[in-house]
Structure 1
Amino acid sequence: MAIIDNLIGATGQWVASADPKATLASPLAWLKKTGGYAAVNKIIGLSIPFAPRNNFSVEEVRPGYVRAKIRLKGNKNHFGSLYAGAYFLVAEIPGGVLTLFDLGPSYTPILKEMTLQFLQPANSDVTVEFTLDPETVAAILADADETGRAKFSLEGKLVDEEGNHVATSIAHYRVRKKGFKAEA
Protein backbone atom coordinates (compact mmCIF):
# COMPACT_ATOMS: atom_id res chain seq x y z
CA MET A 1 0.00 0.00 0.00
CA ALA A 2 3.02 2.31 0.15
CA ILE A 3 2.62 3.30 -3.51
CA ILE A 4 -1.06 4.23 -3.12
CA ASP A 5 -0.27 6.06 0.14
CA ASN A 6 2.43 8.07 -1.65
CA LEU A 7 0.03 8.78 -4.51
CA ILE A 8 -2.69 9.95 -2.10
CA GLY A 9 -0.20 12.17 -0.26
CA ALA A 10 1.18 13.71 -3.46
CA THR A 11 -2.30 14.24 -4.92
CA GLY A 12 -3.47 15.85 -1.69
CA GLN A 13 -0.56 18.31 -1.76
CA TRP A 14 -1.17 19.05 -5.45
CA VAL A 15 -4.91 19.69 -4.98
CA ALA A 16 -4.36 21.71 -1.79
CA SER A 17 -2.10 24.09 -3.70
CA ALA A 18 -4.54 24.49 -6.62
CA ASP A 19 -6.89 27.47 -6.93
CA PRO A 20 -10.46 26.07 -6.77
CA LYS A 21 -11.77 29.17 -8.57
CA ALA A 22 -9.31 28.92 -11.49
CA THR A 23 -10.82 29.38 -14.95
CA LEU A 24 -9.53 29.19 -18.50
CA ALA A 25 -8.60 32.86 -18.15
CA SER A 26 -5.60 31.45 -16.21
CA PRO A 27 -4.90 28.26 -18.18
CA LEU A 28 -2.07 26.89 -16.01
CA ALA A 29 -4.04 27.35 -12.79
CA TRP A 30 -7.11 25.83 -14.44
CA LEU A 31 -5.08 22.86 -15.68
CA LYS A 32 -3.60 22.32 -12.21
CA LYS A 33 -7.10 22.37 -10.68
CA THR A 34 -8.79 20.10 -13.23
CA GLY A 35 -5.80 17.74 -13.38
CA GLY A 36 -5.83 17.45 -9.60
CA TYR A 37 -9.54 16.64 -9.51
CA ALA A 38 -9.06 14.09 -12.30
CA ALA A 39 -6.33 12.42 -10.22
CA VAL A 40 -8.60 12.35 -7.15
CA ASN A 41 -11.38 10.71 -9.16
CA LYS A 42 -8.93 8.21 -10.67
CA ILE A 43 -7.71 7.21 -7.19
CA ILE A 44 -11.33 6.79 -6.06
CA GLY A 45 -12.07 4.69 -9.15
CA LEU A 46 -9.06 2.45 -8.51
CA SER A 47 -9.98 2.03 -4.84
CA ILE A 48 -13.77 1.80 -5.28
CA PRO A 49 -14.62 0.70 -8.85
CA PHE A 50 -18.32 0.94 -7.99
CA ALA A 51 -18.06 4.75 -7.74
CA PRO A 52 -17.22 5.71 -11.35
CA ARG A 53 -19.51 2.97 -12.71
CA ASN A 54 -22.34 4.81 -10.95
CA ASN A 55 -21.33 8.27 -12.20
CA PHE A 56 -19.94 9.53 -8.88
CA SER A 57 -17.32 12.27 -9.02
CA VAL A 58 -15.54 14.69 -6.73
CA GLU A 59 -16.18 18.17 -8.09
CA GLU A 60 -13.96 20.12 -5.69
CA VAL A 61 -11.61 19.27 -2.85
CA ARG A 62 -9.38 21.51 -0.78
CA PRO A 63 -8.23 21.51 2.85
CA GLY A 64 -11.32 21.13 5.03
CA TYR A 65 -13.79 20.94 2.12
CA VAL A 66 -15.14 18.48 -0.44
CA ARG A 67 -18.02 18.70 -2.93
CA ALA A 68 -19.18 15.62 -4.82
CA LYS A 69 -21.84 14.80 -7.38
CA ILE A 70 -23.82 11.78 -8.50
CA ARG A 71 -25.49 11.84 -11.89
CA LEU A 72 -29.13 10.89 -12.37
CA LYS A 73 -28.22 9.15 -15.63
CA GLY A 74 -27.75 5.47 -14.86
CA ASN A 75 -29.07 5.89 -11.30
CA LYS A 76 -32.83 6.20 -11.78
CA ASN A 77 -35.31 4.24 -9.71
CA HIS A 78 -38.62 2.80 -10.92
CA PHE A 79 -40.21 6.28 -10.63
CA GLY A 80 -37.52 7.97 -12.72
CA SER A 81 -35.97 9.87 -9.81
CA LEU A 82 -32.60 9.21 -8.12
CA TYR A 83 -32.24 5.72 -6.67
CA ALA A 84 -31.80 5.58 -2.87
CA GLY A 85 -28.46 3.78 -3.15
CA ALA A 86 -27.10 6.66 -5.23
CA TYR A 87 -27.92 9.10 -2.43
CA PHE A 88 -25.95 6.88 -0.06
CA LEU A 89 -22.99 6.67 -2.43
CA VAL A 90 -22.71 10.44 -2.89
CA ALA A 91 -23.08 11.01 0.86
CA GLU A 92 -20.58 8.34 1.99
CA ILE A 93 -17.50 8.49 -0.23
CA PRO A 94 -16.73 12.22 0.24
CA GLY A 95 -16.21 11.70 3.98
CA GLY A 96 -13.42 9.27 3.20
CA VAL A 97 -11.96 11.59 0.57
CA LEU A 98 -12.01 14.53 2.97
CA THR A 99 -10.29 12.63 5.76
CA LEU A 100 -7.71 10.99 3.50
CA PHE A 101 -6.63 14.31 2.05
CA ASP A 102 -6.89 16.31 5.30
CA LEU A 103 -5.33 13.74 7.62
CA GLY A 104 -3.02 12.03 5.15
CA PRO A 105 -2.58 8.43 4.08
CA SER A 106 -1.35 7.33 7.53
CA TYR A 107 -4.95 7.50 8.77
CA THR A 108 -7.71 5.20 7.51
CA PRO A 109 -11.34 6.40 7.68
CA ILE A 110 -14.01 3.78 8.41
CA LEU A 111 -17.73 4.48 8.19
CA LYS A 112 -19.41 3.23 11.38
CA GLU A 113 -22.99 4.43 10.82
CA MET A 114 -24.92 6.58 8.38
CA THR A 115 -28.48 7.83 8.24
CA LEU A 116 -30.25 9.47 5.34
CA GLN A 117 -33.38 11.54 5.68
CA PHE A 118 -35.16 11.77 2.33
CA LEU A 119 -37.01 15.07 1.92
CA GLN A 120 -38.16 14.97 -1.70
CA PRO A 121 -37.35 13.06 -4.89
CA ALA A 122 -34.39 14.27 -6.93
CA ASN A 123 -35.11 14.39 -10.65
CA SER A 124 -31.62 15.60 -11.57
CA ASP A 125 -27.99 15.17 -10.54
CA VAL A 126 -27.35 15.61 -6.81
CA THR A 127 -24.41 17.29 -5.06
CA VAL A 128 -23.27 17.31 -1.45
CA GLU A 129 -20.69 19.34 0.46
CA PHE A 130 -18.79 18.50 3.63
CA THR A 131 -16.43 20.56 5.75
CA LEU A 132 -13.98 19.85 8.55
CA ASP A 133 -12.66 22.90 10.38
CA PRO A 134 -8.96 23.01 11.36
CA GLU A 135 -9.78 22.54 15.05
CA THR A 136 -11.68 19.32 14.33
CA VAL A 137 -8.86 18.03 12.12
CA ALA A 138 -6.36 18.80 14.90
CA ALA A 139 -8.54 16.99 17.48
CA ILE A 140 -8.90 13.93 15.22
CA LEU A 141 -5.13 13.80 14.68
CA ALA A 142 -4.41 14.23 18.40
CA ASP A 143 -6.81 11.43 19.39
CA ALA A 144 -5.57 9.09 16.66
CA ASP A 145 -1.92 9.77 17.49
CA GLU A 146 -2.54 9.14 21.21
CA THR A 147 -4.93 6.16 21.07
CA GLY A 148 -4.67 4.82 17.52
CA ARG A 149 -8.21 5.89 16.66
CA ALA A 150 -10.57 8.84 16.69
CA LYS A 151 -14.26 9.46 16.06
CA PHE A 152 -15.98 12.25 14.18
CA SER A 153 -19.25 12.96 12.38
CA LEU A 154 -20.16 14.72 9.15
CA GLU A 155 -23.54 16.11 8.17
CA GLY A 156 -24.33 16.69 4.52
CA LYS A 157 -27.06 18.58 2.74
CA LEU A 158 -27.84 16.87 -0.57
CA VAL A 159 -29.22 19.25 -3.21
CA ASP A 160 -30.52 18.81 -6.73
CA GLU A 161 -29.55 20.97 -9.72
CA GLU A 162 -32.26 23.52 -8.85
CA GLY A 163 -30.87 23.93 -5.32
CA ASN A 164 -33.68 21.97 -3.64
CA HIS A 165 -32.65 20.27 -0.40
CA VAL A 166 -33.56 16.65 -1.26
CA ALA A 167 -31.91 14.74 1.60
CA THR A 168 -29.74 15.09 4.69
CA SER A 169 -27.02 12.62 5.64
CA ILE A 170 -25.36 12.10 9.00
CA ALA A 171 -22.29 9.88 8.96
CA HIS A 172 -20.25 8.70 11.93
CA TYR A 173 -16.67 7.75 11.15
CA ARG A 174 -13.77 6.22 12.98
CA VAL A 175 -10.22 6.96 11.88
CA ARG A 176 -7.47 4.47 12.59
CA LYS A 177 -3.80 5.35 12.54
CA LYS A 178 -1.84 2.83 10.49
CA GLY A 179 0.84 0.97 12.44
CA PHE A 180 -0.23 2.39 15.82
CA LYS A 181 1.25 0.65 18.83
CA ALA A 182 0.30 1.79 22.31
CA GLU A 183 3.23 2.66 24.53
CA ALA A 184 3.72 0.24 27.39
Structure 2
Amino acid sequence: MDQSVLEGINTLVEQAIPAARAMRIQITDLGPGHAAASVPLEGNTNHLGTLYAGSLFSVAEILGGAICFPTFDVSRFLPTVKTVEIHFRRPATTDVTAKATLSQEVIDRVTADAEATGKGEFILEAELTDTTGQVVATTVGTYQLRRMG
Protein backbone atom coordinates (compact mmCIF):
# COMPACT_ATOMS: atom_id res chain seq x y z
CA MET A 1 0.00 0.00 0.00
CA ASP A 2 1.14 3.52 -0.77
CA GLN A 3 2.96 5.16 2.16
CA SER A 4 0.69 8.23 2.14
CA VAL A 5 -2.39 5.98 2.42
CA LEU A 6 -0.80 4.15 5.38
CA GLU A 7 -0.06 7.50 7.01
CA GLY A 8 -3.71 8.50 6.54
CA ILE A 9 -4.95 5.23 8.07
CA ASN A 10 -2.57 5.68 11.02
CA THR A 11 -3.82 9.23 11.56
CA LEU A 12 -7.40 7.93 11.51
CA VAL A 13 -6.51 5.20 14.04
CA GLU A 14 -4.76 7.73 16.31
CA GLN A 15 -7.79 10.03 16.26
CA ALA A 16 -10.38 7.28 16.70
CA ILE A 17 -8.49 5.28 19.34
CA PRO A 18 -6.46 7.51 21.70
CA ALA A 19 -5.09 4.44 23.53
CA ALA A 20 -3.54 3.18 20.28
CA ARG A 21 -1.84 6.57 19.87
CA ALA A 22 -0.55 6.39 23.45
CA MET A 23 0.87 2.90 22.79
CA ARG A 24 2.31 4.13 19.45
CA ILE A 25 0.67 1.30 17.51
CA GLN A 26 1.26 1.71 13.78
CA ILE A 27 -0.39 -0.04 10.85
CA THR A 28 2.62 -1.16 8.79
CA ASP A 29 1.01 -3.06 5.92
CA LEU A 30 -2.54 -3.04 4.62
CA GLY A 31 -4.28 -4.40 1.57
CA PRO A 32 -7.32 -6.41 0.56
CA GLY A 33 -7.35 -9.44 2.88
CA HIS A 34 -4.21 -8.62 4.86
CA ALA A 35 -3.05 -6.30 7.61
CA ALA A 36 -0.03 -5.84 9.86
CA ALA A 37 0.65 -3.52 12.77
CA SER A 38 3.51 -2.94 15.17
CA VAL A 39 3.92 -1.81 18.76
CA PRO A 40 7.24 -0.70 20.28
CA LEU A 41 8.62 -2.16 23.49
CA GLU A 42 9.66 1.31 24.66
CA GLY A 43 6.81 2.90 26.59
CA ASN A 44 4.81 -0.34 26.65
CA THR A 45 6.61 -2.36 29.31
CA ASN A 46 5.17 -3.99 32.38
CA HIS A 47 6.63 -4.49 35.86
CA LEU A 48 8.93 -7.23 34.47
CA GLY A 49 10.35 -5.09 31.67
CA THR A 50 8.59 -7.13 28.97
CA LEU A 51 5.86 -5.91 26.62
CA TYR A 52 2.63 -5.23 28.50
CA ALA A 53 -0.15 -7.77 27.82
CA GLY A 54 -2.64 -5.00 27.03
CA SER A 55 -0.36 -3.62 24.33
CA LEU A 56 0.00 -7.08 22.80
CA PHE A 57 -3.77 -7.50 22.83
CA SER A 58 -4.33 -4.05 21.31
CA VAL A 59 -1.90 -4.43 18.40
CA ALA A 60 -3.62 -7.68 17.42
CA GLU A 61 -7.21 -6.52 17.99
CA ILE A 62 -6.76 -3.39 15.88
CA LEU A 63 -6.12 -5.56 12.82
CA GLY A 64 -9.80 -6.56 12.70
CA GLY A 65 -10.85 -3.01 11.98
CA ALA A 66 -7.86 -2.06 9.86
CA ILE A 67 -8.23 -5.01 7.49
CA CYS A 68 -11.79 -3.87 6.67
CA PHE A 69 -10.72 -0.58 5.07
CA PRO A 70 -9.11 -2.05 1.92
CA THR A 71 -11.22 -5.23 1.96
CA PHE A 72 -14.85 -4.15 2.39
CA ASP A 73 -16.98 -1.14 1.47
CA VAL A 74 -16.44 1.00 4.58
CA SER A 75 -18.52 3.79 3.08
CA ARG A 76 -21.53 1.53 3.79
CA PHE A 77 -20.34 -0.96 6.43
CA LEU A 78 -18.25 -0.49 9.57
CA PRO A 79 -16.45 -3.16 11.62
CA THR A 80 -16.98 -4.00 15.26
CA VAL A 81 -15.34 -6.60 17.47
CA LYS A 82 -17.41 -9.27 19.20
CA THR A 83 -14.76 -11.41 20.89
CA VAL A 84 -10.99 -11.78 20.97
CA GLU A 85 -9.04 -14.55 22.67
CA ILE A 86 -5.30 -14.19 23.17
CA HIS A 87 -2.75 -16.91 23.87
CA PHE A 88 0.55 -15.70 25.28
CA ARG A 89 3.43 -17.92 24.12
CA ARG A 90 6.51 -16.20 25.56
CA PRO A 91 7.45 -12.82 27.01
CA ALA A 92 8.13 -10.17 24.37
CA THR A 93 11.40 -8.34 25.01
CA THR A 94 11.49 -6.42 21.70
CA ASP A 95 9.09 -4.52 19.47
CA VAL A 96 6.26 -6.74 18.18
CA THR A 97 4.50 -7.06 14.84
CA ALA A 98 1.02 -8.57 14.47
CA LYS A 99 -0.16 -9.98 11.13
CA ALA A 100 -3.47 -11.36 9.90
CA THR A 101 -5.08 -12.41 6.63
CA LEU A 102 -8.53 -13.21 5.27
CA SER A 103 -9.07 -15.61 2.38
CA GLN A 104 -10.98 -14.52 -0.72
CA GLU A 105 -13.64 -17.08 0.20
CA VAL A 106 -14.20 -15.41 3.59
CA ILE A 107 -14.19 -11.94 2.02
CA ASP A 108 -16.82 -13.00 -0.52
CA ARG A 109 -19.02 -14.60 2.16
CA VAL A 110 -18.84 -11.61 4.51
CA THR A 111 -19.59 -9.23 1.65
CA ALA A 112 -22.60 -11.30 0.55
CA ASP A 113 -23.91 -11.61 4.11
CA ALA A 114 -23.50 -7.88 4.76
CA GLU A 115 -25.29 -7.01 1.53
CA ALA A 116 -28.15 -9.45 2.22
CA THR A 117 -28.70 -8.94 5.96
CA GLY A 118 -26.84 -5.77 6.93
CA LYS A 119 -24.11 -7.65 8.76
CA GLY A 120 -21.40 -10.18 8.05
CA GLU A 121 -19.24 -11.97 10.57
CA PHE A 122 -15.67 -13.21 10.24
CA ILE A 123 -12.97 -14.86 12.31
CA LEU A 124 -9.53 -13.27 12.19
CA GLU A 125 -6.46 -15.08 13.46
CA ALA A 126 -3.36 -13.02 14.18
CA GLU A 127 0.22 -13.99 14.90
CA LEU A 128 2.41 -11.68 16.98
CA THR A 129 6.17 -11.95 16.52
CA ASP A 130 9.17 -10.24 18.07
CA THR A 131 12.04 -8.80 16.04
CA THR A 132 13.75 -12.21 15.91
CA GLY A 133 10.66 -13.83 14.38
CA GLN A 134 9.65 -15.71 17.53
CA VAL A 135 5.89 -16.01 18.07
CA VAL A 136 5.07 -14.27 21.35
CA ALA A 137 1.27 -14.50 21.13
CA THR A 138 -1.63 -15.48 18.89
CA THR A 139 -5.19 -14.22 18.81
CA VAL A 140 -8.50 -15.40 17.44
CA GLY A 141 -11.13 -12.71 17.08
CA THR A 142 -14.71 -12.60 15.90
CA TYR A 143 -15.55 -9.40 14.08
CA GLN A 144 -18.71 -8.16 12.46
CA LEU A 145 -19.20 -5.87 9.52
CA ARG A 146 -22.39 -3.83 10.07
CA ARG A 147 -24.38 -1.62 7.74
CA MET A 148 -24.28 2.03 8.77
CA GLY A 149 -27.49 3.85 9.55
TM more than 0.5: yes
Q: Which amino acid aligns with 1:65?
A: H
Q: Which amino acid aligns with 1:55?
A: R
Q: Which amino acid aligns with 1:177?
A: R
Gaps of 5+ in 1: 1-14, 16-32, 180-184
Aligned counterparts of 2:69 and 2:83: Cα–Cα separation in 1: 18
User: Bigger radius of gyration, 1 or 2?
Assistant: 1
SS in structure 1 opposite 2:44? Answer: coil
Higher relative contact order (CA closer than 8 Å, sequence separation 6+): 2
Aligned to 1:127: 97
Residue 165 of structure 1, aligned match among 117, 135, 144: 135
Per-residue deviation, 1:148? 1.1
1:56 paired with 2:39, answer no
Q: Deviations over 1:64-96 (max 9, x none)?
A: 111110111110000000000001110101110
1:78 paired with 2:47, answer yes
Aligned to 1:26: none
Q: Deviations over 1:93-146 (max 9, x none)?
A: 111010133112211111111111001000011101111122211110110111
Q: Which amino acid aligns with 1:151?
A: E
Cα RMSD after superposing both structures: 1.1
Aligned to 2:68: 99
Moved segments of 4+, more than 2 Å: none
1:89 paired with 2:58, answer yes
Work out whether residues 100 and 109 of structure 1, in 8 Å CA contact, stay in contact via their aligned partners in 2: no
Aligned to 2:82: 112
SS in structure 2 opposite 1:43? Answer: helix
Instruction: Output the TM-score relative to the length of structure 1.
Output: 0.77
Greater strand content: 2
Instruction: Output the TM-score relative to the length of structure 2.
Output: 0.95
The number of residues matched between the two structures is 148
Gaps of 5+ in 2: none
Sequence identity (%): 35
Aligned counterparts of 1:110 and 1:168: Cα–Cα separation in 2: 20
